[in-house]
Chains A and B, each alone.
Chain A
Amino acid sequence: MNLFHDLSYGFGIALQPINLLTCFIGVFFGTLIGVLPGIGPVGAMSLLLPVTFGMSPVSGIIMLAGIFYGSMYGGSTTSILVNIPGEAASVVTCLDGYQMALKGRAGPALGIAAFGSFIAGTLGVVGLMFVANPLAEIALKFGPAEYFSLMVLGLSILIYLTQGSLLRGFAMAGLGVFLSLIGQDLNSGQPRFTFGLQGLIDGVGLVPLVMGLFGISEVLLNLDSPENRIILKTGIGHLLPNREDWKRSAKPIARGTLIGFFLGILPGGGAIISSFVSYAIEKKYSRTPEEFGRGAIEGVAGPESANNAASSSGFIPLFSLGIPTNVVTALLLGALMIHGMRPGPLLISKHPEVFWGTVASMYVGNVMLLVLNLPLIGIWVKVLKIPYKTLFPLIILFCLIGVYSLNNTTFDIYVMLVFGVLGYVLRKQKYEPAPLVMAFILSPMLEQSLYQALLLSDGNPSTFVTRPISCGALAVAALLILSALFPWLQKKRKAAVTED
């Protein structure tokens, strides 16, 4: 009963006109950002963070959270219509969503993405409300060794699921690990691999790196091979999926919700990994795996549900423990601190209006997204039908403004350009940027966990294999890595992941 009392208290806050307005602005802007390729939720939240300073803490957090889960909705639109992921969690949606669009089934793809996102997002919020404390207690029992091994496993799964060569995937991950280590070492204070550049003291920024690898390199690839860019000329068709679509999508949505919810809680898990894992599982359980990569609706429903559930459950460690699980929740953590709150176990008891107001606003925001986005898809399509010679300067400009506004420095623009060119070269050689980005995000936490685990075990590396959870995670990761070396495992993998 106490739970429902708290929730009704939250709705009392979320339904205040000012909070409804900030929620609307957040989800609308988030969707727009998700639609526009090259600008992800991190850049959008960074842009709008100063705007929240003049608001009450709860209004500010509601708006920033709205951008986050709104972008998850919007990201699928560009993935399906132009094969460009609006944000990283929608990368996997390109595989089948775009193929569906090419077959004239863009409408059902967009529809099932929206409905799946709504169902998973709402169930994710229910989960956040009900199981926040018990799951946080379990996660609390994980030591550094478990965190390290789980992150290694997460990274290995991601590489395993990328298309093309596994060796290239591992090479990209290795490069990502190295890039994340550039900058000042937090333990010793010593600059690493900065080559005397002041701009690198704080490390390579995630936003310039992601915008370069995904935004600028995509533009360069399209300029280099304009014939490869297929502008959707077929109609969107009916947005509502038919009975057969629902029948095929029901279980993927349910599984995607569960996968996304639980992976979203783990540090480094979140929307990106959960969408990839969901895709792999759907393909494995499908009676027609050969359809994956050629327009299977399950390949859209599962990952889209997973990334939205993960975006909800990612708030659990943030609100209950004060631990961000990804860059987006790290930004929210910063926003909470700017507003004078100390994130951690006491946040819910000391600032119940923020926790319950945000939880309730997520229900409201998910309804807003469903009601708004299906009719608005036509507008997004019109935006996307702008000729590329007109669209690409605008994409570049949004990337430039987004990157510049983070630190007000042109150095970040150069970083973005470097990764744009690097991304172009690597993608021309069939290298996927996703393992690099994931390794880049996970490595600082991975390094910290490694050091802490070694410190706690008095420098004994066997600590990673003597602890059951850690050992199990590493064993699975090792199996995935070894599959790069053995042809019979390669065959199994090729059956699970669509080759070009």
Chain B
Amino acid sequence: MERVGTKEGIIWIVVGGLICFLSGRIGLGSFHEPGPGFVAFASGLSLVVIGLIMIPPRKSSRSVSVTDHRADRPFLKLPKISLVYTVLVLVGYGLMLDRWGYLLTTFLLMFALFYDRAANRLLPSVLASLLTVVSTYLIFETWLRVQLPRGIFPWW
């Protein structure tokens, strides 16, 4: 039988159990009259079953031999700083987009992403950001008529 790993199995059991619990709260119904939680409960139950199958039985050399040991590493190693930085910058973009508008927020986003800290060169990053903002604004707002948020520049 295919086995994957104990930690993954437990995670899926918890996720599936939570889905089953939430489904039960909104109503499962019956075969005659399925409720809004009917299919969700089935999906949660399937996750619990999958999680149980993933967990290798103890003292079973045969199962251990086919276990994927990659899964028994820590589920997630600490990500690199550049990755965390990018995610945080994107969260900030979402927070400020409506307030500051597309032009300013996107310029700052592009600068934050283009800027090469190792090279420490400001001008190329500023120019690239400016070029990106202006060209995408022309394409999407002016040509394709996508309504981008104006923010602190209501006349644009």
* Chain A positions near chain B (C-beta within 8 angstroms): 47-48, 50-51, 165-168, 170-171, 174-175, 177-178, 181, 185, 187-188, 190, 192-193, 216, 219-220, 223-224, 389-390, 392-394, 396-397, 400-401, 404-405, 408, 410, 413-414, 417, 420-421, 424-425, 428-430, 443, 446-447, 450-451, 454, 458-461, 484-487, 490
Contact = CB atoms under 8 A, between A and B. Distances in A.
Interface in B99-152: 106, 109-110, 113-114, 116, 128, 132, 136, 140, 144-149
Contacts of B40: 177-178, 181, 192-193
A390 B114 contact: yes
A396 B129 CA distance: 13
Contact of B36 (A168, A171, A190, A428): A190
Interface in B54-103: 54, 66, 68, 70-71, 75-76, 79-80, 82-83, 86-87, 90-91, 93-95, 97-98
Chain B binding surface, main DSSP class: helix
A425 B76 contact: yes
Contact of A487 (B66, B83, B86, B114): B66
Interface residues of B, number: 66
A345 to B, nearest CB: 30
Nearest to A406: B146
B2 A167 contact: yes
A405 B113 CA distance: 21
Interface string B13-36: 001100100100011001111111
Contacts of A390: 114, 128
B47 A490 contact: no
Given A220-B87, A408-B147, A417-B94, A175 B15 contact: yes
Interface of B: 1-2, 4, 8, 12, 15-16, 19, 22, 26-27, 30-40, 42-44, 46-47, 50-51, 53-54, 66, 68, 70-71, 75-76, 79-80, 82-83, 86-87, 90-91, 93-95, 97-98, 106, 109-110, 113-114, 116, 128, 132, 136, 140, 144-149
Contacts of B132: 393-394, 397
B76 A428 contact: yes
B31 A417 contact: no
A392 B43 contact: no
B36 A192 contact: yes
Contacts of B109: 393, 397
A446 B38 CA distance: 12
